[in-house]
Amino acid sequence: MSADGRFVAFRASDSHAAVIDLCRDLPLVLDIPLPDNVRCIAPSADGTGIAFADKDGIGFASKSSRVSSAPLPPDIGEPKSISVSPRTGRLYLTSESMTGNLLSTFDASHLRDTVPLEGGQDSHHEMLWAPPLDAFGVDVSCGQDGTWFHWFSEDVEAVRARNVLDCRHDPQGLAGFVSRDRFATVSSDRVRAWDLERLECHAQYEFPPETISDYHGAVWRGLFVVPLHSTTNDTTGLILLRGDDLALVHRIALSSGYVDTFCLPNGVVAIQDQRRWSLHRLADL
């Protein structure tokens, strides 16, 4: 997803990626050729192409230009996630190496800096930008071993580490930011709202009995949106929580069966049987 949440990139096949513009009434879909063995992709800031990384290189591709890439230093390890800065155009790449997890900064495909990230091996990485898009978080999830959230601020000169939230043995996922210093996380049974500077939980919402989450959510019009699945009647729905105190605002039924969900800032992608996907705009629900 792009930093502002407008564009989403995903693998449409082994050899092609798709970029969707979510701000159009009829979403614009770009079909972009991919090099072999791509590990992670992200849309460019203007949505006209993608940034990508594979085990050997990092680069850009678009529908109108050929794929261009530059080699990765061997000690970077396995690419996990990638994002494009909307302010500086830098590429941020997270990876897992023999010595641990890393965040690397690239200018025009040239390595500028590398900093270590906490967390164990075989981890899942995610990057999410905070308003006004001059700071971002990196989520390193290690299954039942827990989650580590790292926060960085960006200026013209460098990216600077701010804080680390250690959720050891308490797996959680990011639900997004309502402001630069207020964000929420989603665990199996609740949503927690946090203050970034003090790393204090100032509100929480416990899910109703016999419901489970997908460990993720999104922010829409100042509300946290979290998908939930019922374990009793096999349904999938959404809850909308107020950004400041996590008070319940609304419940929305999404599907009569279990579907995998991917939350976006203005909609939810529902994926059924790992093949069929549909976009549900929150304003239409």
Domain ranges of the chain: 1-171, 178-285
* Fold of the 178-285 domain: Lipocalin (2.40.128)
Q: What was the pLDDT predicted at 278?
A: 66
**Contacts of 193 by beta carbon, 8 Å cutoff, 6+ apart:** 182, 183, 184, 201, 202, 203, 204, 224, 243, 244, 245, 246
Cβ-contact 161, 148 below 8 angstroms: no
Q: What was the pLDDT predicted at 133?
A: 84
Biggest alpha carbon distance in the chain? Answer: 53
Rounded Cα distance between 41 and 212, Å, is: 29
Look up the CATH number of domain 1-171. 2.120.10.30
Q: What was the pLDDT predicted at 156?
A: 73
Q: What was the pLDDT predicted at 194?
A: 93
Cβ-contact 139, 125 below 8 angstroms: yes
Among 216, 218, 282, 212, smallest CA distance to 250 is for: 282
To which H or E segment does residue 150 belong?
A: strand 146-154
Rounded Cα distance between 178 and 87, Å, is: 20
Structure token pair of residue 12: 């449409």
**Contacts of 254 by beta carbon, 8 Å cutoff, 6+ apart:** 227, 235, 236, 237, 238, 261, 268, 270, 280, 285
Rounded Cα distance between 11 and 52, Å, is: 11
Q: Consecutive 10-residue runs of the chain (285 residues): their mean pLDDT? A: 84 81 69 84 90 85 75 90 91 93 88 91 90 89 92 84 90 87 91 90 93 87 88 84 93 73 69 62 68
pLDDT per residue over 81-106, tens digit each? Answer: 999 998 888 999 999 999 899 999 99
Beta bridge partners of residue 171, listed in sequence order? none
State how beta strands 260-264 and 248-255 pair.
Answer: unpaired
Cα 37 to chain centroid distance, Å, stands at 21
Cα 90 to chain centroid distance, Å, stands at 17
- Give me the sign of the Cα torsion angle 9, 12, 266, 248: negative
| Same CATH fold assignment for domains 1-171 and 178-285 | no
